[in-house]
Amino acid sequence: MDKIKSILENNNNDYEISRLLYSFIDTKAKDSNFTIKNNKHYNSAIKYLIKYFEYITIENFSMDIYLSIIEKISKNKSRDIKAILNKILPILLEYIVDNTNNKLSPNINELFEYKDTLKNYCNNFLIGTPSIRKSIALEIYSSKGDKEIRRLLDGFICKEFTAPTNLNFDTVKGVEEYLYTLKGLVNLIGSYKITDITWRNYCNLIQKVYFSVTFCNIKSSNRGKFKSLLPELFKYIINNTKFNDLKNIQELNKFQDYLYVQERTKPSSNSNYDQFIFQEVYTNFPISSSPSQLHLFEYSYKSKGNIVNSSTLVNLNTDNIFIKKILIEFINTFDKTQKSTATRIENRLFIYYFDESLGSLSKNMNCIENLTFETFKKQFQFYDNKDSQFSFSNVKMIDVLKKFYIFLLSYIETNKYNHKIFINTAINVKVLSSSNFNTMFKEGFKFIIHSPFEIPPSEDKLCIVENKSSNARATKLNSIRLDFSKIYDLNFRNDLKIFLWNKNYNYIGSMYSDFYIIKDFLNLKYEYDIQNSNITPIVRTNETFSEDFMLTYMCSIVSNYNKSKTISNTFSPVKSFVNYYKDKYKFNTLLNDYLICKQTKPSGSDGGMSIDDFNKIAEEFKKDKNTTKNGELLFIILYLCTKTKLRIGDILSLRRNCIVYIDKRNYYGTIEHYTKTEEEKVETQIPLECIESIQRAINLTEDYAKNAINKEHSKYIFITPSTYQINLDKYTIHSLSSYFYRKFYEVLNSLNLEKKYRIYDIRHMRKNEIIKAASKADKDIHEILDMIGGTIQTNLNNYINSKDIEFYVEVFTGTVISNVNVNGEVTLNPNTSLSTNVLGSCKQSACNHNDYQNTDLLKKYPFYKCLQCKDFVTTPEKIYIFEHYIEEIKTFKKNTLNYEESTICETLLQLLGVFYQKQLFMLNRNKEV
């Protein structure tokens, strides 16, 4: 100690400093717990310590001086001496400020206040640039912030220094970059007062940290650490301030979790977001928001095979409690498994403007009953204007508005509210989901349900919505658009409206096609009258639709269509319309019949698709079967078309509960479904492999049905989500019908088939193949009909080639009729007087064939000889009596063992079959005409 005393006396040390140094060294030399004194480099270190305090007085011993001593220590070349000094200095500092006689010195007071922090500076800054370490401390103590902020900053820096994970750097450079980051943080917050620690300032800081290029001169490589330090600093301030009763501190304390939400990445350069959208809507930290106006939405998504958990803050931009509640309910329906769910700009803009879109209504918005059709109209107009203002491509806030009201309809139903948003309108989930809704609503269409028992609406622009209570098929239209303002003549306009309204349509699609056909007819009449206004007719009539005009109309139809059946179908609604007003229009119905017969020719079915062409089409469908879910579903639909007697519409309309019975032992199952012509359910047996295909389709679409917004569609099997989703976890689903039709015709084009097929030709092909195969197997006609579906007449009219009628009749009768000739007649003459319970009548006044009825069988069937007589006459209307006798005689023949009776039966069946064939030919031609 004498040697130490001598050194102190010979140095230029202040007396008080020398006294304290000597006392400290002497005290610690006697302290058995002070183990550093036993180090062999200890004495050398003491000498350096005394030297570093040279010329320092107790009055100027300040924070700056202390940090300068730390800097000198760090430059010492001896690592061992440096380590000893770094341990001694903080102990010495504490000893000086506790034992000096000059405690009133401002510098001493400051050192006393921050002695714990300064001790950590020395204890932990073992590597790195000393000037940076020094400048951090100076930043705190020279900052313009209030004393509380300086204290909190000092405590936070101290906490960061003592955290092992923060100091576990591999290189000096890593420490230096960390220190630069801390310095930037101090520089950022140092000028704040405790009242500046607010949510809005935090949002402003976050946006600058993430997106400002020159912010605090922080290198981009250091910003990652800065981003993690900023929420930690705010959290430290919130939890450690003495002023925790301040409103801004309490608000932040309530929403501490929000601090740790990562800011979103910078939007792409082609996003065209202006500064407002970027700072208030796109970001997770809107500058003008309060945390109570934000909603934390957490989600997860896959990235490179891993599940990534993330979150976003959505700006509700309202303080209205009910609006916040209903918006949060809506947001919580968003898909939580997609990265872009709640971050899509149209969703965020819609939510941000929701309160504003209500206008003055928002003030009193406090329950679900306040959301009405009037509210919807007001919001629709608002969001439509906003869409025009922002002009984002493929992004529409009105689409999100529709999704919101679809959600509301489900929300009201789920919670059993007695409230109808769209009361006195026919707007429902299906209508809102329609791709044409926006256009129709903007153009002022009224949405109503057609009812022939009500007065026709006065409005001209109508959207007719299918009655929700009907057993509607999945392939039917949900709504149709009828614009009566497109009819030029006002009287015709009203007449057509009344006609359509009073007609009982099972399917609104038929009303749609009738409207446009009759509209063209009436507008042509209007133009015809204008063009011929100066022409004086040779014969004046009071008919509204003259022969010359009707010929003009028929010519226009023929020029547009080349198929007689299409021409007939086109003229059919016109015929119904003019017949409805035949008294008013003085219409000549004979002229109508003459024209339609004149312009059409028999066509008949061509037997459907060829087997070779179908196989090519099936191969193309099979290519997508194993690649996409929809590909497999479309293949199943095609498969069911070929393996069952169901129509394509029946298949697409199968419901999820359609399977009612499975018999694996006999390899079949029973399904329940709606048919084209019946509103009630029917049961149909189909092969077991078809049942399994249906079960597979049900499994494939289970998720779609479970999460469907439009519940009316969720009951069907063949469904798919909309290609444009608003990222809700509740899908807007559609029937696969349009996908199947589009795929079918794409395949036809890709195969370059010479023949232009329709989907229905698959059904035609199947029917023909079954009939041919079944006839070879000696199947009864009723077995065949059960296999192919439909009545005899329906199949002849629509599916069987007219040249195959003879073949069909032979299958029915079980005999060959090609070599049988009869002399009787089948006539359409309505004047022919025939009894309703016999096959026909005789042209002669008396019949001489009764003498031949010499057996019991011939007495039972007295018309045996009549069918061979030239005077026998019958009509097509008797076809059902012929069918009855054919079936009865076939049964008798099958059961008799008498050869003579069997021979008579054979002849009877041949004779009945020939007349039956003539009746079918006549009915078929009449149908085509």
Given phi > 0 = left and psi -120 to 50 = alpha, else beta, which region is 394?
A: left
Q: What is the mean pLDDT of residues 167-187?
A: 64
614's CB contacts (< 8 A; 6+ apart) are 642, 762, 765
Whole-number Å distance between alpha carbons of 522 and 501: 17
More reliable by pLDDT, 749 or 159: 749
pLDDT band at residue 758, thresholds of 50, 70 and 90? confident
Q: Other CB atoms closer than 10 Å to residue 867's CB: what's the count?
A: 22
Ranges of beta strands (E only) in 592-692 are 659-663, 668-674, 681-687
Tell me the per-residue pLDDT of 633-652, one tens digit each, with 9 for 90 and over. 999 998 888 888 888 888 88
Q: What is the mean pLDDT of residues 865-888?
A: 85
Q: Which of 544, 531, 628, 619 is nearest to 579 (CA)?
A: 544
Contact 357, 315 (CB under 8 A): no
Bridge-based pairing of strands 733-735 and 668-674 is: unpaired
pLDDT band at residue 176, thresholds of 50, 70 and 90? low
CATH number of 611-764: 1.10.443
Q: What is the mean pLDDT of residues 746-757?
A: 77
Residue 164 has pLDDT above 50, yes or no: no
**117 phi/psi in degrees, rounded to 5:** -65, -45
Whole-number Å distance between alpha carbons of 258 and 198: 13
Tell me the per-residue pLDDT of 451-460, one tens digit each, with 9 for 90 and over. 877 888 899 9
Q: What is the mean pLDDT of residues 280-303?
A: 90
Residue 179 has pLDDT above 50, yes or no: yes
Q: Which of 684, 696, 676 is nearest to 660 (CA)?
A: 684
Contact 460, 445 (CB under 8 A): no
Residue identified by tokens 């003491």 is: 46
H or E stretch covering 631: helix 629-643
H or E stretch covering 558: helix 547-560
pLDDT band at residue 902, thresholds of 50, 70 and 90? confident
pLDDT band at residue 215, thresholds of 50, 70 and 90? low
DSSP 334: B
More reliable by pLDDT, 818 or 156: 156
Mean pLDDT of the chain: 79
Tell me the per-residue pLDDT of 360-405, one tens digit each, with 9 for 90 and over. 988 889 999 999 999 999 999 999 999 988 876 677 899 999 999 9
Residue 282 has pLDDT above 80, yes or no: yes
* Rounded percentage of the chain residues whose pLDDT exceeds 70: 74
Least confident window among 534-543, 605-614, 664-673: 534-543
Tell me the per-residue pLDDT of 685-744, one tens digit each, with 9 for 90 and over. 888 999 999 999 999 999 888 887 767 678 889 988 875 444 455 666 778 887 888 888
Whole-number Å distance between alpha carbons of 202 and 195: 12
Residue 183 has pLDDT above 80, yes or no: no
Tell me the domain boundaries of the chain.
1-115, 127-260, 271-424, 426-516, 611-764, 801-928
Q: Any idea how long the chain is?
A: 929
H or E stretch covering 720: strand 719-721
839-864: buried (b, 16+ CB within 10 Å) or exposed (e) per residue?
Answer: bbbeeeeeeebeeeeeeebbeebebb
Residue 505 has pLDDT above 90, yes or no: no
> What are the structure tokens assigned to 383, written together?
């969001």
Whole-number Å distance between alpha carbons of 502 and 452: 5
The three-class DSSP label of residue 741 is: helix
Whole-number Å distance between alpha carbons of 522 and 530: 13
Output the DSSP codes for 243-261: -TTSHHHHHHHHTGGGGGS
To the question of pTM greater than 0.75 for the whole model, the response is no
* pLDDT on residue 541: 64
Output the DSSP codes for 359-398: GGGGGG--SGGG--HHHHHHHHHHHHHHHHHH--TT--HH
The most confident of the ranges 88-92, 356-360, 555-559 is 356-360
Q: Which of 132, 24, 23, 42 is nearest to 81 (CA)?
A: 42
